[in-house]
A and B are shown apart, each in its own frame.
Chain A
Amino acid sequence: MSSAAEIRGFVRSRSRRPRSWTDLYSTGLGLAVVAAMLSQPASALLAAIARQADPSRMGAGVALVMLAGTGFLAAARAIGPVTLPPADAAWLLLSPLDRRAVLRGPSGVLLAISAVAGAVLGVGLLAVLGTPDHTGVRLAAAMLLGVAAATGGMAAAVLAQASQTWNTWAGPAIAVAAALAVAVALLGSGAGRRLLAAAASAPPAAGAVLAAMAAALAGLLVRRARRVLDRIPAGTLLDASVGRGHAAGAAVAVEPGSLTWSAEDAHWRGRTLRSRRWPALPAPMAPAWQDWRRLGRRPGRLAVLFATAALPALIARTGGGVLEGMTAAGVKGASGLAGTPGLLGVSLTVGLMLVGGLAAAAASTSGARRDGDNPALARLLAVGPRRILAARALLPGLLGGAWLVAVLAGLTVTGALPAGPWWLLGAAAAPALAAGALRMARRRPVDHAMPVIDTPMGAMPTGVLVWALTGVDLVVLGCLPLAAALLFQPAALGGFLAAQALSGAAVLSVSVLREGRRRRDPL
């Protein structure tokens, strides 16, 4: 019987032309260009981390690095982590070939990806903790620690794919890591500050020992993961590979919308549900109740959603603790954004808040999205589109508004915003977030017939741009008073609050009124 390597070689020989010296030259040149591009920011970063860090910012910074690592592992678990290209999954996985040999390539890629991600996380950790001395040793230890954590975590994820016992523990372990990050964030500005400061100023040898121990543990996990590769059930690998195929198809066709339904169907296909009585609601609310019920059946998603509401406060604390508006003392006398790092920070935070609010609202618009993509059930229900849209705006408005209220309250409590009823602005922005989320849910697929325009940053396909901005546009328009209030930070919020309530209600009203004029099916 042929080996997996021989089969792959055979396939490669039929699908590609033989490699020539020009291929090697192109690859080498490409790598050199990438190295040249990265060298400048890398040296700037190294220069920036060679400093004594501010202890008040350490907790938030360490928490962000921990959350990034946890998110990386959660994403890896959601993807597989071990997957095969669809063709390999179809032809090689269910063949008599040695399973470990078939999976050697994908597992090697996983190891490389986690090593790079770990190195970046390590540098991030050092950037937060600072390097009072021995920068080289501390950098090496931090990178080793990051690589060990990421590769060890990835190995554990592979083990979870192969073993039910590991799989049972993997989810809670990620949740505990996320909770630990939150605890670090909370304690870092209080009781834990001294501990973090001590860790930052510990002798480099201590860091090196810790990194070596982590590397040894990671090595053991990676070795064990390699051994169990052939024990990953074929069904698990096929499911993961189908998901990867959908993702690749969506990327090639630049059609991200197609990915969401396959992920949604895959989620529910594996669940055992118990039917509950449909509440006696008036006609437009009865179909809209579907999103409420769906959300109630995904409490984990709701918990993650509201946990992310702490991120803006964390970022604000890492960046300096105070969001400086245009009237803040630090900005006076400076001209433009380049001269006002505080203003840049507040602009980024406003952008993050609006995108986050939109994402929170969009978590509950699957019904509108389904009706937009496949109106068959909407036709059977025969409810007026305006009435049903108005009913469907309730939940995304509630979720988006609650998320913004939590964010603004967090920023006020941590002192990033001056004292005042900022949270009310979040509640007033809820209708605009609902309107944006519903517009996003009902947008048409990417129109690839739209022109490609040349910009200084390269060719820009306007179809993708329009698709990406559909929904965001309404949120930006409807939340202008909120953004202005955060930028100018006035002493009295009353005027901005009234303007926000008005603009939010206006954007949603116009959105609902225009719905009657939309044709559901262009054919």
Chain B
Amino acid sequence: MSEAIIVTRGVEVTLGGNPVLQGVDLEVAHGEIVAVTGPNGVGKSTLLRCLAGLRTADAGEVAVLGGPPRDEPAFWREVALVADEPAWYPGLTVREHLELMAAVHAGPRMDIGEALESFGLASRADAVPPALSTGQRQRLLLAMTLLRPSRVLLLDEPERGLDAEFRRRLAEILTDYAAEGGTVVMATHDPGLAEAARSRRVALADGRAETTV
């Protein structure tokens, strides 16, 4: 196996007195896609927040790119997170959001037109995010995330609001990202997406992680 980009050892997290993660061990290699699955409330998002440095584990170790994750710009220049939060500025169009991302990050992975086409947003390029549907806003967030360069992608239910056709397209986009050397960890409820992205499935159950496929 190639070098491990993400390593967790015995990660434990308790939320409101409820033990959510009880010794999660996980290793994700360079260029690998891992799909974390499991029912609601099992701790998928909590695990992703630990990997993103947004939550400190009560016990255990977390290492991303060789060090503990930190909510700092240097970390976010290497790691991109997609979660369920509004990620747009008021008064800017879809195209301007993508241009902003390209202006801030040197060496974007694709040009603006390509991103609009690839994420099915070309016809909505002049729309503002509040005028988009839930699925289109999710496409915009994914487009901004995948436009910028990164080494690790953390995706919390990326299929949220997306139609079946675009989920297949998303699987291709993620596969291409991994083929370029990126590492992906996504929490998902869509086995089809996990399979189409040729990911390694890790099921969370009883606070522990177990590789299933």
Contact = CB atoms under 8 A, between A and B. Distances in A.
A292 B191 CA distance: 44
A294 B73 contact: no
Contacts of A367: 89
A31 interface: no
Contacts of B91: 268, 273, 290, 293-294, 297-298, 366
B126 A275 contact: yes
Given A264-B90, A377-B87, A382 B73 contact: yes
Nearest to B15: A523
A520 B90 contact: no
A290 B100 contact: yes
Contacts, number: 112
A293 B92 contact: yes
Contact of A519 (B71, B95, B131, B145): B71
A17 B26 CA distance: 59
Interface in B155-202: none
Given A286-B103, A286-B104, A272 B126 contact: yes
Given A273-B128, A521-B71, A523-B49, A381 B90 contact: no
B137 to A, nearest CB: 11
Contact of B128 (A268, A376, A379): A268
A472 B33 CA distance: 49
A523 B48 CA distance: 13
Nearest to A262: B130
Interface in B93-130: 93-96, 99-105, 125-128, 130
A281 B149 CA distance: 19
Interface in A256-292: 264-266, 268-269, 271-281, 283, 286-287, 289-290
Given A276-B96, A287-B104, A380 B90 contact: no
Interface in A352-385: 366-367, 370, 374-377, 379-385
A514 to B, nearest CB: 16
Contacts of A519: 71
B104 A370 contact: no
B86 interface: yes
Contacts of A380: 76, 80-81, 87, 101, 144-145, 148
B89 A379 contact: no
Interface residues of B, number: 40
B76 A379 contact: yes
Contact of A278 (B49, B100, B125, B130): B100
A381 to B, nearest CB: 5
Contacts of A376: 81, 83, 85-87, 141
Nearest to B147: A380
Given A277-B99, A523-B54, A290 B73 contact: no
A271 B81 CA distance: 30
B154 to A, nearest CB: 10
B104 A275 contact: no
A522 to B, nearest CB: 10
A425 to B, nearest CB: 32
B77 A382 contact: yes
A131 B9 CA distance: 85
B168 to A, nearest CB: 24
B104 A283 contact: yes
Interface centre among B81, B86, B104 (most CB of A within 10 A): B104
Nearest to A277: B99
B64 to A, nearest CB: 14
Contacts of A289: 100
B131 A287 contact: no
Contacts of A272: 126
B152 to A, nearest CB: 13
Contacts of A281: 103
Contacts of B74: 382
A297 B131 CA distance: 16
B141 to A, nearest CB: 8
Interface in B43-72: 49, 54-55, 71
Given A264-B90, A519-B71, 15 more contacts: A269-B130, A273-B128, A274-B126, A283-B104, A287-B104, A290-B92, A293-B91, A294-B89, A294-B91, A366-B91, A375-B85, A377-B144, A380-B148, A381-B101, A523-B55
Which are the 4 A-B pairs with shortest beta-carbon distances? Answer: A294-B91, A382-B76, A278-B99, A275-B95
10 contacts: A265-B130, A266-B130, A283-B104, A287-B104, A290-B100, A293-B92, A294-B91, A370-B86, A374-B86, A521-B71
Interface of A: 264-266, 268-269, 271-281, 283, 286-287, 289-290, 293-294, 297-298, 366-367, 370, 374-377, 379-385, 519-521, 523
Interface of B: 49, 54-55, 71, 73-74, 76-77, 80-81, 83, 85-96, 99-105, 125-128, 130-131, 141, 144-145, 148
